[in-house]
Amino acid sequence: MVAHLASSGESWHRPQLVGIVNVTEDSFSDGGRFLAPADALAQARRLLAAGADVVELGPAASHPGAEPVTADEEMRRLDAVLDHLVAAGVPVSVDSFQPRTHRFAAARGAAFLNDVKGFPDPGRYAELADAGCRLIVMHSVRRTGRTDPRTVLTGLERFFDERLAALQAGGIDRERLIIDPGLGYFLGTTPEPSLAVLARLHAIRTRFGVPVMVSPSRKSFLRAVTGRTLAEIGPASLAAELYAARHRVDFIRTHDVAALRDALTVLAALDRHTGS
């Protein structure tokens, strides 16, 4: 579904919606709520009913201060949930940077692997080339203090230039690659780098010519900009997600699929009415 805003010339694009299920004890947004397989499956079904195209399972938190989780524990958390969703024909993404978890997820039928470290090990590229799933290559450079957004953007471009070239040289088809520029703590402790990256989404997508995923949902930079608490950050998350959709990202990873789906639906309906 693609809609056009006649008044502004911008394009409203229907991205794929990736619903987040954190199968963790200490996720910043909902840690512990979906750790039990039955609870995780129930949440996945709610997200699908709300309009999710993909369900992403996160077996370990990645925010600063999160407790390390072994690959064995990640696989234990994923085991029953992943099998049930794949058997039901649901496209599943698994959010992990651990090679053993990647192998496990790919063998069990995951459609996507999402690595917050961006698949840094060239020694694994031949193995990844043989896997059938798509790879979400994330840019993640945690900085402290105030950072010049231009430095972040320059580093982001260098990172993706080098990493995409390396993955392709390792035998991985470019058509399987998706990039995530990272937001929030993945870029720094102040909001400016995240805002700069969001403002440059169209340029990033154009430069690299591969699908782009973003995940502003409930991120720290939105709380810093608005002064809202985590419980109050829904409207700010939706605003950032709609901005990303306007700039034609391909995937939006979100906690609140229903709100984003409804907002995109209303914008498309308004645009159709305007053009009639």
The CATH number of residue 155's host domain is 3.20.20.20
Question: Which pLDDT tens digits describe the chain residue by residue (276 residues)?
Answer: 333 333 344 456 789 999 999 998 755 555 567 878 999 999 999 999 999 999 999 998 765 566 788 999 999 999 989 999 999 999 999 999 999 999 999 999 999 999 999 999 999 999 999 998 999 999 977 655 567 888 889 999 999 999 999 999 999 999 999 999 999 888 888 899 999 999 999 999 999 999 999 999 999 899 999 999 988 999 999 999 999 999 999 999 999 999 999 999 998 888 887 765
Q: Which domain holds residue 12?
A: 2-275
Nearest to 138 by CA among 261, 37, 18: 18
Q: How many domains does the chain have?
A: 1
Q: Name which of 136, 130, 132 is nearest 115 in CA terms.
A: 136
pLDDT score recorded for residue 263? 96
Closest CA to 218 of 27, 16, 23, 15: 27
Global confidence as pTM: 0.90
Beta strands in the chain (DSSP E): 2-4, 11-13, 16-22, 54-58, 92-95, 112-115, 134-138, 177-180, 213-214, 251-254
